[in-house]
Chains A and B, each alone.
Chain A
Amino acid sequence: MEQVFPRVYMHDNKLYTENTAPDHSVYGEPTTTVNGTEYRSWNPHRSKAAAAIVNGVNTFPITPQSTVLYLGAATGTTVSHFADIAVDGFIAAVEYAAEPMHDLVDVAAHRSNIAPLLRNARNPDTYRDTVEQVTVDVVYQDIAQQDQAEIFLRNLQFLAEGGTGVLCVKAQSIDSAAPASTVFTQVREQLQEQVTICETLRLEPFHTDHLFIRCRKQ
């Protein structure tokens, strides 16, 4: 079990995080026990963040101390791995739809560092009172909507200057007809006003026409 990033491990060419809710599998993922510690398999086909790591992202922004604003938490699969990593940190998980929120609440109940929020990420005012109680180091967004870039920009207000933003861009959601590279260029331009882009990375073969953008707030 080799550590590739703080609390992120690789074994047999597979990615793992340490299970902070032992004997409990979040989404039926396989677990492995090595030297008495239980690890949960982190599937790059399901999780954009895992795909980014497997594809060789230079810096992975989620650390054991990170406080994360996670937009588009869905059923909590990626959130659970972030929570395994950020043991001294915290994750505010925003999800708009009730169905996945049922699962997200279960995930949050089994870990001590996740707060689920049934809110619309387009309206940051609706969770301002909660989020402003903590200092957000990372804003991570994975929302497949046409205005995903706008949503991201609107949520950067919670991020301190110099903080890290991660946006998983799905080209098809923005413009299903245009070539992905065109869409990515447009998004990059949109973001330039508020952030400095540090790294971008395609997520093939795990996710088609997706771009992982890591940036820093100006």
Chain B
Amino acid sequence: MEQETRDKLREQALTDAREQLQEDTGADQELIEHVKALDELYTVRNTVQERLASWTQDSALRTRLQQLQEDVEDLITDLETACIETSETVMPNTHAVLGDILDCRILAYAGSLEDLAQMPSSTIQVLGAEKAMFRHLRGEGKMPKHGVLYQHPTVHTLPEERRGNMARFLANKTSIAARLDYYGDKNRGDDLREQVDNRFNELQHA
């Protein structure tokens, strides 16, 4: 059996494998990387700002730290833009319901778009409040009403006693949105967002 056949076979296999690997890179994983980096950069931004605030002595090193501050700021802007643009493409429905960045955060907690689509909405409701949830299950404290979903304007703006209701509603709609994004190709995001806003209005004026 010819060496030439084998060489060609191997070349073809290498090319095919590389191509397939390119296509298969999960776009949702990219989003998660971005948002994790973003959250870390927010911390960096604050820390550097604090340090510069108490650093009075002028020096070349201080100037370098200021440069770092600027660079961090630019990177934050670029990452935020990337998150928003990519999530509009990858999960338009979820993006419509949850809004900028929060959709990526929820995705990061879930682990993947597939996981987000398959998990019960009650899980989505408390994603991010694991510490409180498991503590409650072990006997201490109340069950959390919301995790990272608290950040949604419709949730934290409401009086405390209504937030649970809103968080549940939002989680339910997020579930639907995630399933549309993962399994289908329909876009009912605007409609879903409208339902969320309507519920918010009801709860605000009840």
Given A67-B1, A116-B13, A134 contacting B18 (CB threshold 8 A)? no
Partner-A contacts on B (CB < 8 A) = 1, 5-7, 9-10, 12-14, 16-18, 20-21, 24-25
How far, in Å, is B119 (CB) from chain A's closest CB? 22
A105–B7 CB distance below 8 A? no
- Pair A102/B21 contact, Cβ less than 8 Å: yes
- Measured CB to CB, the closest approach of chain B to A140, in angstroms, equals 17
Nearest CB of A to B104, in Å: 22
| A113 adjacent to B6 (CB under 8 Å) | yes
Interface residues of A (CB under 8 A from B): 67, 90, 92, 98, 101-102, 104-105, 108-109, 112-118, 130, 133-135
Q: Is the interface of B mostly helix, strand, loop or mixed?
A: helix
Contact B9 A135 (CB under 8 A): no
Given A67-B1, A134-B6; A98-B21 close (CB under 8 Å): yes
B10 touches A134 (CB 8 A): no
What is the number of contacts between chain A and chain B, taking CB atoms within 8 Å?
53
- Option from A67, A98, A130 in Cβ contact (under 8 Å) with B13: A130
Q: Which of B5, B9, B13, B16 has the most CB of A within 10 A?
A: B13
Q: Which of B1, B5, B7, B10 contacts A108 (CB 8 A)?
A: B10
Q: Is the CB of B14 within 8 A of A105?
A: yes
Q: Whose C-beta in chain B lies nearest to the C-beta of A102?
A: B21
CB distance from A218 to the nearest CB of B (A): 23
Query: What are the residues of chain A within 8 A of B13 when measuring CB–CB?
Result: 92, 108, 115-117, 130
Contact: A134 with B1, CB < 8 Å?
A: yes
Q: List 7 A-B contacts (CB under 8 A).
A: A90-B6, A92-B13, A105-B17, A108-B10, A114-B10, A118-B17, A133-B9
Closest 4 CB pairs of A and B: A115-B13, A115-B10, A116-B17, A98-B24
With contacts A101-B21, A118-B21 taken as known, whether A130 is within 8 angstroms of B9 at the C-beta atoms is yes
**Contact A112:B17 (CB < 8 A) given known A134-B1, A135-B1:** no
Distance, CA A64 to CA B89, complexed state (A):
51
Instruction: Let me know if B1 and A113 touch, CB within 8 A.
Output: no
How many angstroms between the C-alpha atoms of A115 and B17 in the bound complex? 9
Q: Which residue of B lies closest to A131 (CB)?
A: B9
- Pair B14/A108 contact, Cβ less than 8 Å: yes
Q: Give the complex CA separation of A158 and B55 in angstroms.
A: 72
Complex Cα spacing A105 to B18, Å: 7
Give A98 to B19 CA distance when docked, in angstroms.
11
Bound: A133/B13 CA distance, A: 12
Knowing A67-B1, A135-B1 are in contact, say whether A101-B6 is a contact too (CB < 8 A). no
Whether A115 contacts B9 by the Cβ 8 Å rule is yes
Closest CB-CB distance, B24 to chain A, in whole Å?
Answer: 5
Q: Return chain A residues, CB-CB under 8 Å to B20.
A: 98, 118
Most A CB within 10 A of own CB, among B17, B21, B25: B17
Please, how many angstroms separate the alpha-carbon atoms of A67 and B10 in the complex? Answer: 13
Bound-complex Cα distance A92 to B21 (A)? 18
Smallest distance from the beta carbon of A166 to chain B beta carbons, Å? 21
A102 to B17, CA, bound (A): 9
Determine which of B5, B10, B21 lies in contact with A113 in the assembled complex, contact meaning CB atoms within 8 Å: B10
